[in-house]
Amino acid sequence: MVLIVGLGNPDKQYEKTFHNIGYICVGDVAEILGAKFKKKECESSIAEGFINGEKVIVARPLTYMNNSGRAVKQLMAKYKVTEDKLLVIYDDYDLPKGKIRIRASGSAGTHNGMRSIIGETGLKNFARIRIGIRDEEVNIPIINYVLSEIRKDDYELFASACKKAGEAAAEFAKGVSIDNVMCKFN
């Protein structure tokens, strides 16, 4: 069993914001799996699919970004997911817009959603895909920036980054080692 979580905020007003890149990306993952977000459980919207006979849970926590850890902890307990079978996808202000970075483990950095997951689960050796959102031309406070809507000029760039990240997540779900996924997609 593999659990792929995309971080974001559930309300319609956040739908096209930078902070919802994780939500957007797991939509691509679900599409690759032929799965639909139909269930709500563990404070999450869930899509279930299969790759090579293994069940894959794709989730969008409904707890808001800063409490994402609550949902992840519940999902891991319900589905008995181990740390090595967890992948979290999220926006990263520390990376240039459109760049993806895959890691096998790490800290929360400046991301409150990741801070919540690490705090709630006590884990940090799980895979993550970070999608860069920083725009050097924009000079506003981070909190205002991450909650602002993605500019139409950048839709294609972020759609491409999310597609690539979704493909990387599908490789991970197939059982490809995170090191090999990093070599292929970083």
Instruction: Examine the residue annotation and report whether 111 is marked as an active-site residue of this protein.
Output: no
CA distance 117 to 90: 12
CA distance 79 to 77: 6
Q: Catalytic: which of 7, 19, 91, 129?
A: 19
| SS3 category, 93 | strand
Tokens linked to 141: 């406070």
CA distance 150 to 134: 11
Spacing of C-alpha 58 from chain mean position: 9
Catalytic residues: 19
